């Protein structure tokens, strides 16, 4: 990861903290209970790899049942940010996190990663179904591995979640076929059913369509739109059109720092920061 | 482009360099051939002397006393199978767990130590392992036993299995581990049910290799399992084993016994060859592309 | 595990250690009847046979490794390395068996008379020809450790980036000169392989026991029978008379363990140092 924080002078992003913390501040005055509307909140979150900062001092409040997109050029730390939210950074040796992450108000930075990840599911860049398992087994893998084994119940869960991910009609006659026999787009939807089968409240998506063709991409984007009523979704994408299409609010990261966090519409039409404007209009990145 | 040529000029010693080149390359090819020769010779010779004595009797009969012809090594073959079974009970679980530990938890210092120790353990002479088994099993029991032999073979299997497990697990893509962890599955369940399962065919071939190697081990059995010329299937008694039988027949002065020993040697070589071929075939078809 | 083995052997050899002290290593008297035990002949036999084996095997192994990684066309490469792997997997008892019945007679009838008639003025090639003995054991050991050294050398050569070889070619080097450069770069790894092979040769038991002649003596001639540490354990352990005898054998084992442990650790560290940077 290429980071040259010291050499680049940031625009006055930090000074605007209070402003960008709350993209909806101009509309939220009617809310009586703001806290319950927040799905994920980070407070001065920094992640270090080998004592080098990958993201620095990011404070965000992401609302429930909304889609939040995280955009930025390669190496800006958007995946790092996402992976910190379900403590996946622990997989990387010599990583360290400071700051707080609150999921529905509860600080998770020191909780058990297993508990966190049951609530915060993740869909990865490349479809990664378990290669030794069938389609059926993939969907219930999370439940089975956590000890749920009643078969009648599982059948129902498989059907419900495959339907939910829009895959049921395509695979219902070959549930016992190996997962790898599916096409890339189908595999990704299988991974999504696998993720929602454990009943998460929040779904993290790390460039979920970057390995897929446009038609499969469209199907996934449709899913994301439909999922809004049930889940809070955070999606990392390098595709700004995608961010514009699927998300309600967007955060722009650059060189590990949060530059701007606004309503998506505003971000792409009338950004507050000059850097954001340059990025969304394709002047760099 | 004429400038460099002017500077370096045509090499004066080119002829000598070319000669050295051909000479050394020829020598390398010769080395290759020389190395293969003993293998082919051993193979050929064992087959020639052993094949004629490999028959039904060899697998079903007990050894006959000197002077009588016929007889077989049935007890030794069964003994070998039992010893390897006992060895597997020790070697496979320990080897796999150590392999998982080294591969999946590779950041810790402990795992580096485990890795180093298994590498070193693989170089410890098998006879030393035999003494070890003698010290902790034969001495307290006050007699030679299959248990001690199996234990020694088990220890000898550990490094091979650990190594293969580690290598196979490393081939499992990181994204699969993350997929499982992201479902809220704990670390050890991920290692055991997702990663290990994905790598299982490779690990099984590794176990086969370890078994083939253990099947030919003689030295550690000399004073643990000891050998026996009768039927013996209880594990707290001395037990025959194929390589032991080959050894005692080979150093005997009797022609008939030599023939039997060659037959045993043929069976062992055949086993080694088949297992290696199988392993090669399986790993090829699976990872050949990469 | 390794520590446990060391401790157990240390404990079990107590009797002999108390009896003979450090003299154990330097005494060449080994007599179970009078209960006089000294390990020098075994140490001698082990060291000489292993070093000789290494000397014979190293150039050949490097040649084979170069052949496999640089010269052979890929269609030969894979079956050839398979054969080398098999060579490593053949049980040592079969080497020993083949050694006494095929190789030793060959040595007795062909090789040793030849050496004696042309190089008989050297002390190494004098004396009665038995067939079995130090030289035969060394050659068998050399055959056995060649695959090990070859495998390590090949891996280390593979770890040297292609770009380095291309750089050499670009300067007008011949193929051998490019290879030589790669070998020089890989030398500590190759050394590691050699030491690993040495460790294996030192600990090898069955094959050596069957061809070395099993006579506890120290002679300059390579034709003379000798004895090795592993062989004496293999031969005498099961029928050792009296606890002092057993204890002495275990002490031999302890020495063997210590030596192979040090040698293997050294080899691994050398190999790690090369492959890690790759």
Per DSSP, helices labelled H in chain C are 2-12, 14-20, 23-26, 40-66, 74-89, 92-98, 104-106, 112-119, 134-159, 162-170, 175-185, 187-203, 206-211, 229-236, 242-277
Distance CA B74, CA B59 (A): 5
CATH number at residue B230: 1.10.3720.10
Chains touching chain B, criterion 3+ CB pairs below 8 Å: A, C
Q: Per-residue pLDDT for A192 more than 90?
A: yes
Average pLDDT, chain A: 83
Chains C and A touch (3+ CB pairs under 8 A): no
What band does C179 get if pLDDT is binned at 50, 70 and 90? confident
| Closest-CA distance of chain C to residue B55, Å | 20
C-chain residue closest to B220, CA distance: C234
Mean pLDDT of B249-263: 84
B-chain residue closest to A140, CA distance: B183
Structural domain A14-29+37-128+200-280, CATH architecture? 3-Layer(aba) Sandwich (3.40)
- Please judge whether A142 and B176 are an interchain contact, meaning their C-beta atoms are less than 8 angstroms apart: no
Instruction: Map residue B41 onto helix, strand or coil.
Output: helix
- Please judge whether B123 and C263 are an interchain contact, meaning their C-beta atoms are less than 8 angstroms apart: yes
Residue that wins the pLDDT comparison between C35 and A28: C35
Q: Per-residue pLDDT for A52 more than 50?
A: yes
pLDDT on residue A203: 93
Distance CA B40, CA B44 (A): 6
- Please judge whether B125 and C71 are an interchain contact, meaning their C-beta atoms are less than 8 angstroms apart: no
- Encode pLDDT of B8-42 as tens digits: 555 567 788 888 888 888 888 888 888 888 888 88
Nearest of A56, A158, A141, A144 to residue A97 by alpha carbon = A56
- Encode pLDDT of B182-197 as tens digits: 888 888 888 888 898 8
Q: Per-residue pLDDT for A236 more than 90?
A: yes
What band does A104 get if pLDDT is binned at 50, 70 and 90? confident
Lowest mean pLDDT among A142-146, B282-286, C120-124, C217-221: B282-286
Q: Per-residue pLDDT for A247 more than 90?
A: yes
Chain B interface, Cβ < 8 Å to A: 107, 173-186, 189-190, 193-194, 197-198, 200
| Closest-CA distance of chain B to residue C35, Å | 20
pLDDT on residue B287: 47
Domain ranges of chain C: 2-277
CA dihedral B100, B102, B103, B109 (to 10 degrees): 140
Average pLDDT, chain B: 82
A-chain residue closest to B107, CA distance: A93
| Closest-CA distance of chain C to residue B128, Å | 6
- Please judge whether B194 and A145 are an interchain contact, meaning their C-beta atoms are less than 8 angstroms apart: yes
Chain B residue numbers touching C147 (CB-CB < 8 A):
35
Mutant choice from A111, A141, A148 vs B, greatest count of B C-beta within 10 A: A141
Q: State the residue range of the domain holding B163.
A: 75-287
Q: Per-residue pLDDT for C267 more than 80?
A: yes
Structural domain C2-277, CATH architecture? Orthogonal Bundle (1.10)
**By the 8 A CB rule, do C97 and C15 touch?**
no
What band does B78 get if pLDDT is binned at 50, 70 and 90? confident
pLDDT on residue C26: 67
- A8: phi then psi, degrees, rounded to nearest 5: -105, 125
CB atoms within 10 A of CB B116: 17
B-chain residue closest to A133, CA distance: B198
Chain B residue numbers touching C197 (CB-CB < 8 A):
none
């Amino acid at each position: 990861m290429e980071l040259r924080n010291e050499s680049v002078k940031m625009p006055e992003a930090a000074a605007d903290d209070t402003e960008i913390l709350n993209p909806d501040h101009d509309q939220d005055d009617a809310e009586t209970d703001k806290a319950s509307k927040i799905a994920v909140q980070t407070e001065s979150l920094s992640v270090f790899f080998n004592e080098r900062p990958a993201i620095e001092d990011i404070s965000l409040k992401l609302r429930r049942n909304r889609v939040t997109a995280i955009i930025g050029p390669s190496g800006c730390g958007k995946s790092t940010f996402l992976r910190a939210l379900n403590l996946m950074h622990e997989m990387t040796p010599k990583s360290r996190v400071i700051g707080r992450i609150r999921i529905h108000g509860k600080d998770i930075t020191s909780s058990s990663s297993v508990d966190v990840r049951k609530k915060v599911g993740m869909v990865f860049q490349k479809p990664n179904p378990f290669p030794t398992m069938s389609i059926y087994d993939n969907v219930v893998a999370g439940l089975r591995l956590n000890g749920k084994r009643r078969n009648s119940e599982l059948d129902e869960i498989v059907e419900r979640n495959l339907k939910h991910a829009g895959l049921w009609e395509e695979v219902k006659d070959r549930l016992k076929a190996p997962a790898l026999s599916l096409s890339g787009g189908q595999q990704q939807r299988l991974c999504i059913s696998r993720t929602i089968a454990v009943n998460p409240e929040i779904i993290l998506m790390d460039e979920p369509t970057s390995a897929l063709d446009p038609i499969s991409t469209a199907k996934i984007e449709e899913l994301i739109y439909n999922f809004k009523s049930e889940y809070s979704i955070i999606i990392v994408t390098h595709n700004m059109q995608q961010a514009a299409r699927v998300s309600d609010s967007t955060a722009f990261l650059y060189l590990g720092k949060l530059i701007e966090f606004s309503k998506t519409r505003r971000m792409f039409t009338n950004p507050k920061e000059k850097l954001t404007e340059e990025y969304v209009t394709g002047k760099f990145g | 482009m004429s400038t460099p040529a002017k500077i370096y000029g045509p090499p004066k010693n080119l002829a000598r360099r070319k000669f050295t080149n051909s000479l050394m390359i020829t020598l390398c090819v010769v080395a290759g051939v020389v190395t293969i020769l003993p293998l082919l010779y051993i193979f050929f010779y064992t087959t020639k002397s052993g094949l004629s004595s490999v028959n039904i009797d060899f697998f079903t009969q007990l050894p006959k006393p000197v002077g009588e012809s016929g007889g077989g090594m049935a007890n030794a073959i069964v003994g070998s199978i039992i010893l390897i079974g006992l060895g597997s009970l020790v070697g496979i679980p320990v080897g796999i767990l150590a392999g998982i530990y080294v591969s999946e938890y590779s950041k810790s210092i402990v795992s580096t130590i485990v890795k180093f120790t298994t590498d070193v353990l693989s170089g410890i002479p098998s006879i030393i392992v035999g003494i070890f088994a003698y010290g902790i099993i034969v001495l307290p029991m006050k007699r030679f036993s299959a248990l001690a032999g199996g234990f020694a073979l088990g220890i000898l299997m550990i490094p091979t299995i650990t190594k293969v497990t580690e290598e196979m697990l490393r081939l499992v893509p990181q994204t699969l581990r993350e997929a499982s962890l992201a479902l809220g599955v704990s670390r050890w369940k991920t290692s055991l049910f997702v990663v290990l399962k994905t790598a299982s065919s490779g690990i099984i071939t590794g176990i086969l290799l370890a078994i083939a190697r253990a099947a030919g081990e003689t030295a550690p059995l000399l004073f643990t399992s000891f050998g026996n010329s009768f039927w013996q299937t209880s594990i707290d008694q001395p037990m025959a084993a194929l390589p032991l039988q080959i050894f005692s027949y080979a150093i005997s002065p009797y022609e008939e016994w030599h023939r039997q020993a060659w037959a045993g040697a043929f069976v062992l070589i055949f086993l080694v060859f088949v297992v290696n071929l199988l392993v090669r075939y399986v790993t090829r078809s699976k990872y050949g592309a990469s | 595990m390794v520590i446990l083995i060391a401790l157990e052997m240390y404990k079990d050899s107590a009797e002999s250690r108390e009896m003979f002290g450090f003299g154990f290593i330097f005494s060449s008297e080994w007599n179970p009847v009078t209960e006089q035990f000294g390990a020098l002949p075994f140490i001698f036999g082990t060291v000489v046979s292993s070093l000789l084996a290494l000397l014979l095997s190293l150039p050949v192994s490097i040649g084979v490794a170069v052949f496999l990684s640089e010269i052979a066309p890929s269609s030969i490469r894979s079956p050839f390395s398979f054969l080398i792997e098999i060579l490593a997997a053949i049980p040592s008892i079969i080497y020993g068996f083949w050694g006494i019945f095929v190789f030793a007679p060959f040595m007795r009838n062909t090789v040793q008379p030849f050496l004696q008639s042309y190089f008989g003025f050297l002390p190494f090639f004098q004396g009665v020809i038995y067939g079995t003995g130090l030289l035969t054991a060394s050659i068998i050991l050399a055959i056995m450790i060649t695959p090990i050294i070859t495998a390590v050398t090949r891996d280390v050569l593979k770890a040297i980036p292609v770009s380095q070889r291309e750089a050499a070619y670009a300067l007008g080097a011949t193929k051998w000169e490019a290879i030589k450069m790669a070998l020089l770069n890989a030398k500590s790894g190759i050394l590691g392989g050699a030491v690993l092979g040495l460790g294996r040769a030192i600990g090898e038991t069955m094959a050596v026991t069957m061809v070395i002649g099993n006579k506890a003596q120290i002679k300059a001639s390579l034709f003379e029978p000798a004895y090795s540490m592993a062989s004496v354990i293999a031969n005498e352990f099961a029928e050792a008379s009296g606890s002092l005898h057993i204890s002495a054998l275990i002490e031999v084992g302890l020495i063997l363990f210590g030596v192979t442990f040090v040698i293997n650790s050294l080899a691994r560290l050398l190999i790690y140092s090369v492959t890690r940077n790759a």
